[in-house]
Structure formats: structure tokens, C-alpha cells
A and B are shown apart, each in its own frame.
Chain A
């Protein structure tokens, strides 16, 4: 190497493990073939549904934190969030998708979730 290079760590294995995790989050290219195109589409759709579900949940938690929800409203929100989560669980099982697969790489912006 021609540059004045330093690479220094006292935890090489830990860093290798974490860097591999970052690289393994998503496939480098879309594997679109007739056998898995259905799963690929389901992954895309469910990712967007999961994003909306998380946003709803976050908004609800913020409102609870702000103290702006009544007891009845908390009950209704609880029921809605429970049903949404259960339905998502069912759909993930049907298409054989894991939680960590429901994400999108937005390039320079990082991952969607």
C-alpha cells in the first residue's frame, strides 16, 4: 500500500460480525424468477404495510405519551393494533417471510425501517 495506512482495533471479530450483519440485511440484487416472484411481490407489499403499521403504532404511542387519549380511545387503539399485528403475523407465515426481511434499501438514505 502506498498510503500511510492505519487500521486499528482491539475487537476485530466483533467488528467483522457487525459489518457482515450490515451487508447481509438485503440481497444485492433482486432475484426475480417465476418460482419466487410471488414471494418477492408479497415482501414488497408487506414491507409497505409494515411501515404504515409501525407509523400508526408510533403515532398512537406519542398520543398516549402526550396524555391526549381517553380510556375508551386507548381500548380501541389497542384492539386495532392487536388485530393489525396478528394479521401481519399470519401473512408473514403464509409467504414464509421473517421480520428482518421486511425492509427496503433506499440507497444513500439507508434502510426504510
Chain B
């Protein structure tokens, strides 16, 4: 029997009300000092991880958040024994305590922004051709023609990146004063200008939503995907990194566990 973990909570007590976990198994709290790791048992035979499991994991983490501060585990965090869980808790205890204090009464919001990359780039190219440049490279040889083309690409790309930064700053400005912390991923694809996560105090959720309402009503050609509130999946930070005990919240851990468990399907993001 394997043990499936949902999150670290700020209590070492047993759960007051029964909560059903994956496969209908009851969730219980494995206590370590004054914190706990909420888990349920998982059948050895479980090989197929479906979207239903992901939604269940999310539902359970949210249910736990009603009663506790939760450091949500990544989907598919599985331990072999209770001793493994306690070893992990012992190793990361200080980190867990720091995170539980930092994330107390906080939620996460997601903000994705698409911009019309092709249009932006074309606009930059048009301006480039109309502008007189200080640098002049002749085309008297294939090598110089090559450099000239590369130089043009370089200037256009540079301007594209600067335009992206300007645009991201405008979007971020709407949320910056409301959020406690943020994680901004820029240009993950040419069109996906921004993939941001904001950590927000529970009391300021409405302010955050209103900021989005203001942003989306501004004229422009940006597209938005706003989501939240979520458990703080992106804001748990661990200072200690030990490969053999790296169970918590890392892609490597997930990939390793997936391989160990022989699950046929890869993890899907919640």
C-alpha cells in the first residue's frame, strides 16, 4: 500500500471531520512535532491517473484549506512508507514552518496574457525599415550580407523584448500593489506574453478581482485569462535541497515518482 500526500498543514491533531481522499480512502494526518502531513492510502494496482484524480486532488486541498493553512503538495506525491514521510518532515521542518507562517491567510491568483506577437513584430520591422540606422553594413560579400541579416534580426528581437517588458510592466502595475508576492514568467511562447502567479491576502481578493476588471476594460489587443483563488501552489519555497529526499514540490520528484510507480500517463497540470 502506497501513501498519497495532499499537503502540509499547521496542525498535528487528527482531522475533526472525515474527508474522503482519492479512491474514496479516508484522509488522515501524519503528525510531526506541531505540523502534519495529510495523506490517504493508495492502491498498489493504481496505474491510470486520470483527470478525475487531478480534480479530486484539488478539491481535497481546497477542503483542507477551510480548516488549516496548507502547503499543497504537487499532484501525484506518493510515499512508500510512513517513515519516508516522517523523514521528509524532519528534513524540511524549518522550511515548512516558515512557509506555513508566510502563506497563512493567503491565496493564489493566476493571470495569463496573450499578445498578437506577429502584429507586434511586423510593426517593429516596419519601423526598422523606415528608421535611419547608425550602423551600416555593406552587402559586398556573402559573409557581410549574412551579418547584415543577422544584425537586423538582432535589433528586431531586441525591440520585441523591450516592447514585451513595457507591456508586462503595464499589466503588472494593476496587481503589484495588491499582491504580497508574484512570479512572472515572460514570453513562454511568442504569443504568451505573461504567465503570472500572484499571492494575495484573503482579505484583498476582491481588490484583486476589481483590478482585473479595470485591466480588461482598458482598450488594447491583449487577451486575458484570469483565474483564482487557488491554493498557493507556486509560492512554497524550500531552501534545503537534498536529492535523495527531494520529495516536495519539484518537477524532478514528480518525474522520478512517475517512473518508479510505472504510471502510464504523465502528470497534467491542475
Using a CB–CB cutoff of 8 Å, the interface residues on chain A facing chain B are 1-12, 14-15, 18-19, 21-23, 28-29, 57-58, 60-61, 64-65, 67, 71, 74-79, 81-82, 105, 107, 110
Contact A107 B250 (CB under 8 A): yes
Cβ distance A83 to chain B, nearest Cβ, rounded Å:
9
Supposing A28-B266, A65-B154, A78-B146 touch, asked if A9 and B223 sit within 8 A by C-beta, the answer is: yes
- What separation, in Å, do the CA atoms of A41 and B9 have in the docked complex? 43
Binding site for A on B (CB under 8 A): 58-59, 62-63, 65-66, 107, 112, 114, 134-135, 137-138, 141-147, 150-151, 154-155, 185, 188-189, 191-192, 195, 205, 209, 212, 223-231, 250-252, 255, 258-259, 266-267, 269
Structural contact, B205 and A64, CB atoms closer than 8 A: no
Inter-chain contact count A-B, CB under 8 Å? 124
> Quick one: closest A residue to B110, CB to CB?
A7
Min C-beta distance of A23 to chain B, whole Å: 7
Contact of A74 with B147 in the complex, beta carbons under 8 Å? yes
> B9 to chain A: closest CB distance in Å?
15
B135 touches A9 (CB 8 A): no
Alpha-carbon distance A71/B62, docked complex (angstroms): 65
B137 contacts across to A, CB distance below 8 A: 64, 74
B107, B141, B185, B195: which contacts A3 (Cβ < 8 A)?
Answer: B107
Is the CB–CB distance between A14 and B223 below 8 Å?
yes
B223 touching A61 by the CB < 8 A rule? Answer: no
Residue in contact with A22 in the complex, picked from B138, B189, B224, B250, CB distance below 8 Å: B189
Contacts of A79 in B (CB 8 A): 143
Tell me whether A15 and B225 are in contact (CB under 8 A): yes
Given contacts A19-B192, A64-B137, A78-B146, 9 further A-B contacts (CB under 8 A): A5-B227, A8-B225, A15-B114, A28-B266, A60-B147, A64-B147, A74-B143, A74-B144, A77-B143
B229 contact set on A, CB distance < 8 A: 3-6
State whether B66 touches A2 (Cβ < 8 A).
Answer: yes
Complex Cα gap A7–B185 (Å): 19
Question: What are some 23 contacts across the A-B interface (CB < 8 A)?
Answer: A1-B62, A2-B59, A2-B62, A3-B231, A4-B229, A5-B228, A6-B227, A9-B225, A10-B224, A11-B225, A12-B225, A14-B223, A18-B192, A28-B266, A29-B266, A61-B150, A65-B155, A67-B135, A76-B143, A78-B144, A81-B146, A82-B146, A110-B185
